[in-house]
Amino acid sequence: MKQGVKIVTIGGGSSYTPELVEGVIKRYDELPVRELWLIDIEAGKEKLEIVGSLAKRMIEKANLPIEVHLTLDRRSALKGADFVTTQFRVGLLDARAKDEKIPLSHGVLGQETNGPGGLFKGLRTIPVILEIVKDIKELCPDAWLINFTNPAGMVTEAVLRYTDHKKIVGLCNVPIGIEMGVAKLLEVDHSRIRIDFAGLNHMVYGLDIYLDGVSVKDKVINLLTNPENSSFVKNIEGQGWEPEFIRALNALPCPYHMYYYKKDEMLQKELKNFNEGTTRAEVVKKLEEELFELYKDPNLTIKPPQLEKRGGAYYSDAAVRLISSIYNDKRDIQPVNTINNGAIASIPYDSAVEVSCVITKEGPKPIINGDLPVAVRGLVQQIKSFERISAEAAVTGNYDTALLAMTINPLVPSDKVGKTILNEMLEAHKEHLPKFFPKVKA
C-alpha cells in the first residue's frame, strides 16, 4: 500500500491556495499528505509560480515531508491522485467583470453566481469540469473530486447528471462562514456550534442551530433582528433584515438570499457600484494584486491575514476538513453539495442539494430533513430548475435552452430582456463557449 495522500489542486495559482496549504499543514497528523500538485493554465503560470513558492516556504517552515509540484500538465499530475480539488475560473476575473457589468447595463442584477452571471459562469465552467472528470475516470478513478468552483451547486449537478463519476462533493464557504458568524454573535468558539443546513448552494437555510447540542435558534433569530448582525460573508454587505420578516421566516437565511428577498435594494447598490466603476470583480482584482505582491515576499512563510478579505475566507480550511473526514471515515457532520437521495422531499432524488451530511469514507450521507418550510420551498425549487436547465444548456450548447434558463431565473424580469442580455453575453464570452461556438478555438 502506498504511503501518504496525493492531493491535486486544479486552479493551483489561485489566491486561496495558501489557505489550502495552511489547512494541510494544520491537519498533517491526521491527513499525511505526501504530494501536493498545483496545476494551472498558461495564463495563470506567473501566479502559479508565486503561490507555489509561498506554498513551499510554508511547508519548509512547518518542517513536513510534503512534496509540492507545480505544473501546467493536468494529465501527468492526476495519475494516482487520492483527492482532486477544483478552484478555477474560466476566463479569469475579466470574465467575472463581464458577468457583472453586462446585466447591470440592462438594469438587471449582475452577480457571480446569481442571475445571468451565474448562468454564464456555469456555461463556461461545466464543459471544463466534464473534461476534468473524463481525465479522473481514466487516470485516478478512485479519487474524490472536491469542487469549490462556482456555481458549485450547478457544477455538482452537471457532474452527477452527465457523468458516471459519483465521487464528487461540492463545497462552499458560505455555511462555514455562517457557523463562524453565529459563533461570533454568541461569543463562543466555532467548534461548539452546529447548524442543520438544507437547500441549495447559495440558497441554503439554517433550519436549526445548536450550541453544545442544545437548540439556540430562537436566540440567534432574535439577535439577527438587529440590522448590524445581518450578514456573515465578506463579499455581501449586510443591509439588515426587517425584524418581522426574519422572525416569521424562522430559519437562518444565507447572505445570498439578499439578492432575492431584497432584490431592489441590492440592485440599486450594484448599479451605484457599477456607475462608480467599483463592481465586485474590480474590487477583487485590486485585492488579488495586493495579495500577490505580499505572496512574492521571500520572507513570507504563512498565509497572510489579508486573505480573509476575499469572499472565500475559510473555504480551503473547510476543504481540508472534508478531505480528512473522508480519509479517516470520521462520520462527523458537515454541510456539502451532494446527491439529494431523499434528504429534501420536494427536490428530485437525483439532484444536487446543499445539506448537512455525515461524512464517511464512502462519501457524504445526507441527513434526512423531510421537507423545507413551505415559505422557502418554492424559491428553492425555482433555483433548482434554473440550475438544471443551465447545466443542460452548458452540455448541449443549445441557444433556446440557455434562453429558457435565463428567463426562469427570478432575477431576470422578462424573456425579452433575458434575450438581449443572453445575446450580448454570448458574444462577450465567445472564446470560452466552444459548445455554442464550435468554430471558435477555445
Average pLDDT over every residue of 92-114: 95
- Determine contact, residues 392/401, Cβ cutoff 8 Å: yes
CB atoms within 10 A of CB 416: 9
pLDDT of amino acid 3 = 78
Rounded Cα distance between 107 and 421, Å, is: 10
Active site residue 295: no
CA atoms within 13 Å, Cβ hemisphere of 92: 14
pLDDT at residue 429 tops 90: yes
Average pLDDT over every residue of 177-201: 94
pLDDT of amino acid 53 = 97
Beta strand residue intervals within 72-123, DSSP E: 83-86
- Determine contact, residues 390/398, Cβ cutoff 8 Å: no
Q: Which residues pair with 196 in a beta bridge?
A: 208
Average pLDDT over every residue of 180-190: 93
Share in percent of the chain as helix, strand, coil (round to 5):
50, 15, 35
> Active site residue: 16, 28, 210, 256, which one?
256
pTM: 0.94
pLDDT at residue 236 tops 60: no
Which stretch of DSSP H or E encloses residue 146?
strand 144-147
Q: When comparing pLDDT for 228 and 272, which is higher?
A: 272
Task: Tell me the pLDDT of the chain averaged across its residues.
Answer: 93
The position carrying cell 456550534 is 193
Report long-range pairs for 299-303 (Cβ below 8 Å, ≥24 apart). 300/54, 300/57, 301/54, 301/57, 301/58, 301/60, 301/61, 302/22, 302/58, 302/61, 303/18, 303/19, 303/21, 303/22, 303/58
Pairing of strands 203-211, 363-366: unpaired
Q: What is the pLDDT of residues 161-176, one digit of tens each?
A: 999 999 999 999 899 8
CA distances from 377 to 107, 129, 201, 204, 373 (A): 27, 29, 14, 11, 6
- Determine contact, residues 178/196, Cβ cutoff 8 Å: no
What is the DSSP secondary structure assignment for residue 349, as one 8-state letter? Answer: T
pLDDT of amino acid 1 = 45
Q: What is the pLDDT of residues 336-379, one digit of tens each?
A: 999 999 999 999 999 999 999 999 999 999 999 899 999 999 99
